[in-house]
Amino acid sequence: MTQEVRLWEIIERDALKEIYQANLNFEDRIEQWLDNDISIISKDLLVIGRQVHTDFGGTIDLLCLDNQGDVVVVELKRDKTHREITAQILDYASWVKDLSKERVTEIGDEYLGEVSNLEGAYRNKFGVDYPEMVNESHKMLVVASEIDASSERIIKYLSDSYGIGINAITFNYFKNDCGKEYLSRVFLIEPSDVEYKTRTKGSSKRSKPLTFEEFQEIADNNGVGDIYKKVLERLSPLFDRTTRHITAVGFQGSIAEDSSMSPLIVIYPRFQKNNTKNGHHVKLAMFI
């Protein structure tokens, strides 16, 4: 069911003044906003392509990677009908699923240009190395100002019954009497629910991130459990966020008060034999 979004401004003496929804020139603005700051959708996405041409003659609005190396197709409704946008994003997914790591890297390097390359941008964004296995799974996000009941049923059916990684996001645009603009975001399905259904019902080959307990068990089995535990305990209180990846534990924080969170330190508890006397070590990476 489509959710109604209303917005109020709190003014003097706790009085409320409603800010009414306004018309948004969606096509001209939302894609640019997402390209500039994809965290509007998710903090765990990196844009690797815009207006990406498929081999089937279509053009994907935005192509992204998530923090597990999975490809995410982001498609805007624009002037397409609701049924057309759902069919179109499924068509794009049928092309995306066969992209090799080399092709994904080529797309990312071309988009990022002289500013960076995909490996560097991925490391800077997520604080871990560019994965050996890329595009083991893929996801789809439909972006629109509204989603009709038929499209809702189709998207929920694909997610609920088959664990397909598809969701829809609606943006509502508001403007007050002074011309100040506001934007709100609503997911059709809670993202964690989509993720759970993809893992339990879908055909994804993507391994889920290990738990902290599983990382600790690996460390214990390799004789460095005490070191790993101490590093984790000492670092966790110093950072804003601790994240788990498939092969690493990351620590994120803000370098300055007005800056966004960035990955600063990563622990790789995938221990490797070396030529030292003890035979094992904990790999620690720092990003400044």
pLDDT digits (tens, 9 = 90+) for 85-106: 899 999 999 999 999 999 999 9
Which comes out higher in pLDDT, residue 272 or 78? 78
- For 32, the token pair is 């640019």
Q: Is the pLDDT of residue 224 over 50?
A: yes
What per-residue confidence (pLDDT) applies to 280? 45
Residue 155 near residue 82 (C-beta atoms within 8 A): no
pTM of the model: 0.71
- For 182, the token pair is 């506001």
What per-residue confidence (pLDDT) applies to 275? 41
> Quick one: average pLDDT of 138-142?
96
Q: 217-253 burial, b for 16+ CB within 10 Å, e for fewer?
A: ebbeebebbeebeebbeebeeebeeebbbbbbbbbbe
Judged by average pLDDT, the poorest of 28-32, 188-192, 276-280 is 276-280
41-62 pLDDT per residue, tens: 999 999 999 999 999 999 999 9
Which comes out higher in pLDDT, residue 245 or 219? 219
What per-residue confidence (pLDDT) applies to 220? 80
To the nearest whole percent, how much of the chain has pLDDT over 90? 40
Query: Where exactly are the structural domains of the chain?
Result: 7-201, 212-286
Which comes out higher in pLDDT, residue 249 or 178? 178
Considering only the top CATH level, what class is 7-201? alpha beta
> Quick one: average pLDDT of 255-283?
54
User: Scanning the structure block, which residue is given the tokens 């989603």?
Assistant: 147
> Among 211, 243, 210, 245, which residue's Cα sits nearest to residue 253?
243
What per-residue confidence (pLDDT) applies to 270? 53
Q: Is the pLDDT of residue 159 over 80?
A: yes
What per-residue confidence (pLDDT) applies to 283? 54
Question: Distance between CA 256 and CA 259 in Å, rounded?
Answer: 5
Q: Is the pLDDT of residue 271 over 60?
A: no
What per-residue confidence (pLDDT) applies to 234? 85
